[in-house]
Chains A and B, each alone.
Chain A
Amino acid sequence: MTVPVGKRLRYGRMAILALLCLLAGAPVTPLVALGPQQTVHSANPKIGVHTRLTDEVEAWKIKRTLEMVREMGASWIVEYFPWAYHEPSPGGWNWSHADQVVDHARRQGLTVIARLGMVPEWARPDPDEQTTTTTYLDEEHYDDFARYVGAFVEHFRGRVGHIVIWNEPNIGLEWGYRPVDPEAYTELLRAVYPQARAANPHVVVLGGALAPTLAPEGDPEGMNDLAYLRRMLAAGAGQLMDGLAVHAYGWRLPPEVPPDPEVVNFRRTELLHELLVDAGFPEMPIYITEGGWNDHPRWTKAVQPSQRAAFTVRAYQMAWEAWPWCKAVALWAFRYPRPANSYLDYFSFVTPDFTPKPIYYTVQRYARGEAP
């Protein structure tokens, strides 16, 4: 039987259309491949940075950021994995973006420290009754957060070995604008720690990540970090964490300025270490998960760009030579996905369009063992 030409053409067109429909529905292969396994070459394996990939949408930018971190000579990254993004509804997990970040980081040879926080709307009070921020978590929902931490650790077992529980709980802004409460934070650790360890007995759970502050007693904005840690440890936090996350900002002071309880500087980290020793945890490691200097031309806590670069390298070196209890120094912040158009932009090592700032090359030369 012969099919008329017109009919054949029509069948052909329908076949092409069907093929296009099939292709449209087919799973999309990622256009940005992970690439070959890389290794970080660095004279100082404690060098790290806090990346800001949480809101980075494009895969190639995630990959490029992490390539540049490796090329600078940093071995560690700290990255934020918001609970609200990964469990937008109870039990409704979505790890796609987090997987992408972690897999690219590991392919670049980087060790990931995951900072966990940000409360989803479903775990907060009804907004009609009480307005709350994403840092508001009442004790009723500690177990929900602990379940998230357990699920995260389980999902990334073998890929992410360090987690930070919450961020700067000693300031009101990060504690849902409630009075800060070291005992309540310790209870949060008590809820989280067994879940994390059950999911992966080798995971390193980091507590603290306190904001360095000299807030006087009773200040509604926050609590002095030294006082806060002392109360955390008295409440039993030492048994509920494997390490302490520290934020070590230098503001206008060089890294060598000696520690002083009345001063916020880079070596305040030593005071936090001493508190751990005094509480009976001399072996507990410290991981600096934020810190560094800022070179904004007008911000009152900023230094000149050349000073910032010099201080940064000297801080990395100090941790390498003199702080055996400090495992990593991840400074704030490698690159923002978009300009903040404020002093925050002057913490970064690379601009949003991937142009390295001079400090990037200074750290790179240092990591290569060259004179800065």
Chain B
Amino acid sequence: MRGLKRRWWLVAAAVAMVVVALWLLLGSLLEPEDETWLRIQETGVLRICTDPSWPPFESLSPETGQVEGFDIELARLLAERLAPGLDLRVEVVSVGFDSLYDALLAGRCDAVFSALPYDPLLTRDVAYSISYFNAGPILVVRADTTGIEGVEDLAGRVVGVDWGFVPGGDSRQRDLLRTLPVRRYDTAADALRALHAGEVEAAIVDRISALDYTRECEGLEFVGEPIQDVNYVIPVRLDSHLLLEKIDEALLEMRQDGTLEALQEVWF
């Protein structure tokens, strides 16, 4: 009787194994193809769309006339990791800012590297990578400032902003920012100069302007992370699922091994 029971267990285990094997096999057979990724592998070319009018992310080099910048370098570094051994070449397609998404959807490129912020309203049209840069507004103070650890410490202090500044973030933060005695300057750089000169006690400017300014001038420091997220991401077509998976994996690696930070050091 015991021998019969053991035999039943063996049969059941064998059946289960066959089912799992079939499931895995069918799963891999039914997985939709990613034609973009197949073509990239076949041709060895990753085509990226960019609007070269936004330095330091992308602009035309006055010396070479070629498109250069943070995003272009990011694309090259990513290409090396997407398919090691394939030696992928990055081909840059210059497109006007208005047409970046259309160019992607029309197949003129495989991905957009153009400092594009994540847009929740377009997620039915394109798929986005994870973020590689946060360009949101950031709080900046003089290095010798004490007592400002975050936006909540700004109450009653004079804050410099660029002229078009509109309070953002969650409702509590928005309400707080609305009550601040802000001093408006024509540009973000002007607001930071005013901070440097002691005209204001803190400044809230976009992180790109802040990085750009602090590269040239010492004595200012950032307080924490951006107070509102403006995450730059890489859109691909919805059916480019394998390409997206590989881009995300590579970006994660680059975030962890410090490549993204090093890239920032180079371009800011």
- Could you tell me which A residues sit within 8 Å of B by CB distance? 295, 297-300, 304-306, 308-309, 338-339, 341-343, 351, 355, 357-359
Closest A residue to B118 using CB positions: A341
Chain B residues contacting A308 (CB-CB under 8 Å) are 164
Chain B residues contacting A299 (CB-CB under 8 Å) are 97
Q: Within the assembled complex, what's the spacing in Å between the Cα atoms of A359 and B97?
A: 24
Chain A residues contacting B187 (CB-CB under 8 Å) are 304
Binary contact track B147-180/A, C-beta < 8 Å → 1, others 0:
0000000000000001111110000001000000
Measured CB to CB, the closest approach of chain A to B163, in angstroms, equals: 4
- Could you tell me which B residues sit within 8 Å of A by CB distance? 51, 53-54, 97-98, 117, 119, 121-122, 162-167, 174, 184, 186-187, 206
How many residue pairs link A and B with beta carbons under 8 A? The number is 44
* Contact call B54/A298, Cβ cutoff below 8 A: yes
Q: Within the assembled complex, what's the spacing in Å between the Cα atoms of A74 and B98?
A: 30
Chain A residues contacting B167 (CB-CB under 8 Å) are 355
* Contact call B53/A355, Cβ cutoff below 8 A: no
The prevalent SS among residues of B at the interface is mixed
* Contact call A351/B97, Cβ cutoff below 8 A: no
The prevalent SS among residues of A at the interface is loop
Chain A residues contacting B117 (CB-CB under 8 Å) are 341
Chain B residues contacting A339 (CB-CB under 8 Å) are 121
Measured CB to CB, the closest approach of chain B to A57, in angstroms, equals: 15
Residue from B121, B165, B186, B206 within 8 A of A304 (CB atoms): B186
Residue from A298, A355, A358 within 8 A of B97 (CB atoms): A298
Measured CB to CB, the closest approach of chain B to A327, in angstroms, equals: 30
Residue from B53, B54, B119, B165 within 8 A of A341 (CB atoms): B119
Closest A residue to B209 using CB positions: A297
* Contact call B165/A358, Cβ cutoff below 8 A: yes
Q: Within the assembled complex, what's the spacing in Å between the Cα atoms of A240 and B164?
A: 43
Q: Assuming A309-B163, A355-B174, A358-B166, what are 4 further A-B pairs, CB within 8 angstroms?
A: A305-B164, A306-B163, A357-B164, A358-B165
Closest B residue to A360 using CB positions: B166
Q: Within the assembled complex, what's the spacing in Å between the Cα atoms of A304 and B185?
A: 11
Chain A residues contacting B162 (CB-CB under 8 Å) are 305
Chain B residues contacting A342 (CB-CB under 8 Å) are 97-98
Chain B residues contacting A306 (CB-CB under 8 Å) are 163-164, 184, 186
Measured CB to CB, the closest approach of chain B to A36, in angstroms, equals: 28
* Contact call B97/A343, Cβ cutoff below 8 A: yes
> Please, could you name 6 A-B residue pairs with CB atoms under 8 Å apart, sorted by A?
A299-B97, A300-B97, A342-B97, A343-B98, A358-B163, A358-B166
Closest A residue to B165 using CB positions: A358
